[in-house]
Amino acid sequence: MPECQNCGSFVTAAYARVFTPPGTENPRVCPDCEDKIRDGAEIRTARSPRGT
């Protein structure tokens, strides 16, 4: 099962297929990450705490 490179959380295969570049199995950041977010094709530090 794919795993987030940032926080180590497990993600679904469908999530990994949509949010990772071809040839990469594990996403760089996932919805469970509190300190990083996706910003288009880039990953950046969150500007404010994420309300989960």
In tens, the pLDDT along 19-48 reads 888 888 899 898 888 888 888 778 888 887
pLDDT of residue 43: 83
For residue 2, pLDDT beyond 90: yes
Can you say whether the dihedral through the CA atoms of 29, 32, 33, 38 is positive or negative? Answer: positive
The pLDDT value recorded for residue 50 is 64
Instruction: Give pTM, 2 decimals.
Output: 0.72
The pLDDT, as a whole number, for residue 11 is: 94
3-class DSSP state of 10: strand
Q: What is the structure's pLDDT at 9?
A: 93
* Residue extents of the structural domains in the chain: 13-45
**Tokens describing residue 29:** 């950041």
